[in-house]
Structure 1
Amino acid sequence: MQQHLSIQNATRAATAWAASPVGRLVRVEVLVTLSCALLATLVFLSSSRRTSRSAAFRLVVWSALMLSYPAVSYTIGLMQSGVFRNELVVVWACFLLGCADGIAACGIDGSDQQSRTMLNQAAQIIYVLFLLLSYPSSLQLQIKVVLFLFWALNVVKLSMRLRSFLLVGSREHTLAVENR
């Protein structure tokens, strides 16, 4: 009975610590590391995804792809809702956004996947903008300028990807009508 109570006390203490500002910051740091590891896996392995015959290799790349956007989105959301003040949070968010946007070309084919990817990127861009705007006094001007330029570059990249997606969709529609 006493062992059961000590497990409950340990669980309550761990839950209270995880909800504290320090615990939340540690969770953000762990999630940033995990997100970076997933994105690095995609960068280094995804170009061989189509040529590899190994099912395990393809499973690793597919898993990294499927987990990377939710991990990055959740991490950026956790950063945005945090009560802690750490200027590195904004830097991490901008670089996670840039890296996650850059690996979109490694994704699984299909318009549904492309649409979902673009919606995830748009949500991440909005989250990062909120983070940039919520840290105006704690960042140096040079860092603010670089981060806003990096953020604007991601907006432009998403706009170009959306335009390309819409052009391909309208061409496919035109071809389907002509073939009838």
Structure 2
Amino acid sequence: MCHNEWVGNSSSKDASLLLPLSRQDEVMAQPCAQLDLRAILAETRIGDVELTRVPQVEPQQSVADAAAAMRRERHGSALVCQSGRLVGILTERDLLRQLGLHGRLEGEVAAWMTPDPKTLSPHNTLLDAVRWMQRGGYRRLPVVDASGQPLGIVDVKSVMAFLVDQMPNTIYNQASRRVLTVQECEGA
């Protein structure tokens, strides 16, 4: 926690010119490293946040159809499911890698997807998600229930949106540093 600070005209010898900082000013004055974002992420279960819905495709579906579904849904990935269970993920990175090798979108999704992707459960925390994203270089992770049925994904954008919702003043104002200076005495 922050301690109380006082801001005033530094050249003034009169302590009555010092003004107490409000809690909002106090939080805004903290450097990024002191914000307790880690605690917020560690206390929040993935099941408590809104997951991103993405297209679901089947392994035997054409990769061109899957790419069209991703474009139609305006999302950079599709979950690959067979009999209701997650078996892979197809991302724009997979598409670009294969396009670089073959020059065209041909074949089945099974040949282009990343099989058996790292998954999270609704019981994992957002901190778990962030750690896995960092370790694996992932931008999105599928979330599945106990039977392996996909519930959606948690991605970088959804984590950031959650943090902004939790701490809007801190996030939006982090770059600014406000220092209050009393220019002249007023009042009795």
TM range (shorter): under 0.3
Higher strand content, 1 or 2: 2
Higher helix content, 1 or 2: 1
Give the structure-2-normalised TM-score.
0.25
Larger RCO: 1 or 2 (CA < 8 Å, sep 6+) = 2
